[in-house]
Amino acid sequence: MNWKKVAQIGLPSAAFIGMGVVTTKLYRYGFGRLEEKPTDQTDNSHYHDLYQRAHEWLADQPTEDWWLYDNDPKNRIHALYIPHPQPTQKVVIIAHGYHGSAPTMAAFAKMYQDLGYNVLMPDNRGHGESSGNWVNFGGLDRLDYRDWCLDLVDYLGNDCEIVLFGVSMGGAIVMMMSGEDLPPQVKGIIEDCGYSSLPAQLAYRAKVEFHLPKFPVLPIVNLVNHFVLGFNIDDVDSLAALEKNTRPIFFIHGESDSYVPTTMCLENYRATTAPKELWLVPKADHAESFPIDPVAYQHQVAWFLEKYDL
């Protein structure tokens, strides 16, 4: 037996199989549902205080439980609806981030209520009270959010005005929604620290957290994802969606973001020719633009909403 040839064939094969095993485990780690109660999405101490006060505020609100696909246990999607104390046709849909849930966005819900909006906060698939064992990073969620828009139109009437807002993964979701066929009642989008595409974000995190190369990690992840969730990770693409966007959009990102690189925000901004604004927040890490200065954040959001009559 030619052991040299065996080694030449066997060692690369063994390495590839080993990488496949590692990547499959990483898929479960990165895409699997978090069964623990989700918490706020930053370690910023200012946010913890804000988060606690917001939860106390949320507990006092007359919330309603809404459901999509209520008769389909495998696809049942939950949301919290918070009506404004004064009747209004304006409503914001708030998309949470990775391993978050509707209640983790309570501080933003209060901000938008203060600005005069009804609020709908969905639990993404694989999060909160929604069904699913896997995080899809917007590959499926964006279509659920489109259906939430339709439900809001049915509930509030054809004269309603919808704003889309999301942070981190939620930011990517609302950007990806911009490429969908949305009802005309959707008037504008505000995204905070969303990624440019799922492959780009996975490649960046694999390198930073695990020192793993883009190849063969991403092809193996894509293969597993096809089996588990049924779509190509290349289709989870904010940039491609933004090229189709026609609605005013506000891009917010921390200048010191170490989780979703600030360069991704600049790529997102350049991808759309629609009316657009950009705010890079000094010294803010990932999802910290709001807690660093909530007053300035609300002022910026209010300015955008007023400028585009949203």
- Residue spans of the domains in the chain: they are 45-197+236-307
**Which residues, in sequence order, are CB contacts of 50 under 8 Å at separation 6+?**
107, 290, 291, 294
pLDDT mean over 275-292: 96
What percent of the chain has pLDDT above 90? 84
Q: Which two tokens stand for residue 75?
A: 């696809």
Q: What angle do CA 46, 165, 257 make, to 5 degrees?
A: 45
Q: Is the pLDDT of residue 9 over 50?
A: no
Mean pLDDT of 59-73: 95
pLDDT, position 8: 46
pLDDT of residue 120: 98
Half-sphere exposure of 236 (CA within 13 A, CB side): 29
pLDDT band at residue 26 under the 50/70/90 scheme: confident
Tell me the average pLDDT across 266-283.
98
Question: pLDDT tens digit string along 75-108?
Answer: 999 999 999 999 999 999 999 999 999 999 999 9
Q: Are 141 and 68 in contact (CB under 8 A)?
A: no
Beta strands in the chain (DSSP E): 64-68, 77-82, 90-95, 118-122, 161-167, 186-192, 249-254, 276-281
pLDDT of residue 19: 54
Q: Which CATH superfamily is domain 45-197+236-307 in?
A: Alpha/Beta hydrolase fold, catalytic domain (3.40.50.1820)
Q: Is the pLDDT of residue 149 over 50?
A: yes
CB-CB neighbours of 200 under 10 Å? 21
Query: Quick check: 17 pLDDT over 50?
Result: no
Q: How confident is the model at residue 36 (pLDDT cuts 50, 70, 90)?
A: low
**CA gyration radius, the chain:** 20
Cα dist. 246→142, 146, 172, 243, 274 in Å? Answer: 17, 16, 16, 9, 5
- The average confidence (pLDDT) of the chain is 91
The answer to whether the beta carbons of residues 286 and 257 sit under 8 Å apart is yes
pLDDT tens-digit series, residues 233-270: 999 999 999 999 999 999 999 999 999 999 999 999 99
Percent of the chain with pLDDT over 70: 89
What does the pLDDT read at residue 136? 98
Strands (E), 205-267: 249-254
| Integer CA distances (angstroms), 150 to 146, 171, 184, 213, 287, in order | 7, 20, 10, 41, 28
pLDDT on residue 24: 77
**Which residue type is seen at 258?**
S
The residue that leads in pLDDT, 132 or 1, is 132
Stretch 32-45: mean pLDDT: 64
When pLDDT is averaged across residues 158-174 and rounded to a whole number, the result is 98
Structure confidence at residue 49 (pLDDT) = 83
